[in-house]
């Protein structure tokens, strides 16, 4: 049992050079890779000339597929869990699988690496000693607005993530709820060629986003102290 392990492997969020040597070693040594989507996983592995069997684990099939994965691990198979990009389990599938591993005495080993959260914070220019990570807002407009209203009462640096196509909508809603003079930093397409940080009031950042028609991966930091 002591040799039964699940590796949780962080992968690049945009720049393929950000893969770690340990991550490559673990992936190459695995019998199969647990991924979120086949297309994204194959594209990632092809960057490093790695060919592995893949098992998809997503929000639709995790409960059904996780027990079979556990059987493979208990049978001695080596495996690694990756997400489409970045550090797995942050708003991604895998929590149920990890719970099953722990209940079956399978060792869970994190392999740290790329993440959008800490790079966004460290380059923000804000005081990051303490922050409130909220993550993804609801995809439903009314629920999202209620979440933002509750967050307005949180007097900390607030960190939000969301899908690229909701970027401008989120900025508009934050502008409405927090007020146009609210200080924010928008970290846009971190590690990619288009990487940029937009600092200022929410109104200023919102106007820039609309002018440039921004649509990409982002981290929004609201300095609500």
Residue 155 maps to which CATH number?
3.30.950.10
Range of 164's domain? 117-223
The answer to whether residues 79 and 157 belong to one domain is: no
Q: 109: closest CA among 76, 74, 65, 78?
A: 78
User: What's the distance, Cα to Cα, between the start and end of the chain in Å?
Assistant: 49
Q: How far is CA 198 from CA 4, 208, 211, in A?
A: 45, 8, 13
Last residue of a domain, one of 91, 111, 131: 111
Of 77, 111, 145, the position where a domain reaches its end is 111
Q: Number of structural domains, the chain?
A: 2
User: In whole angstroms, what is the distance from residue 184 CA to residue 201 CA?
Assistant: 6
Same domain for 81 and 155, yes or no, is: no
Q: List the pLDDT tens digit at each of the 225 positions of the chain.
A: 557 899 999 999 999 999 999 999 999 999 999 999 999 999 999 999 999 999 999 888 888 999 999 999 999 999 999 999 899 988 788 899 999 999 999 999 999 999 999 999 999 999 999 999 998 999 999 999 999 999 999 999 999 999 999 999 999 999 999 999 999 999 999 999 999 999 999 999 999 999 999 999 999 999 999
CB 108 within 8 A of CB 8: yes
Write down which residue in 75, 94, 111 finishes a domain. Answer: 111
């Amino acid at each position: 049992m002591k040799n039964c392990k699940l590796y949780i492997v962080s992968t690049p969020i945009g720049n393929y050079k950000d893969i770690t040597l340990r991550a490559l070693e673990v992936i190459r040594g695995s019998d199969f890779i647990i991924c979120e989507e086949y297309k994204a996983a194959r594209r990632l592995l092809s960057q490093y000339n790695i060919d592995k069997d893949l098992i998809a684990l997503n929000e639709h099939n995790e409960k059904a597929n996780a027990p079979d994965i556990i059987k493979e691990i208990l049978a001695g198979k080596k495996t690694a869990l990756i997400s489409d990009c970045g550090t797995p389990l942050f708003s991604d599938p895998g929590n149920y699988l990890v719970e099953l591993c722990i209940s079956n005495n399978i060792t869970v080993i994190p392999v740290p690496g790329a993440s959008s959260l800490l790079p966004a914070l460290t380059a923000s220019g804000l005081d990051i000693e303490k922050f409130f990570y909220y993550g993804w807002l609801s995809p439903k407009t009314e629920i999202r607005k209620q979440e933002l209203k509750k967050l307005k009462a949180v007097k900390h640096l607030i960190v939000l993530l969301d899908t690229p196509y909701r970027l401008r909508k989120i900025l508009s809603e934050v502008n409405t709820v927090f007020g146009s003079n609210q200080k924010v930093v928008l970290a846009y397409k971190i590690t990619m060629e288009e990487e940029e940080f937009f600092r200022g009031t929410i109104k200023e950042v919102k106007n820039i986003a609309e002018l440039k028609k921004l649509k990409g991966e982002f981290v929004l930091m609201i300095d609500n102290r």
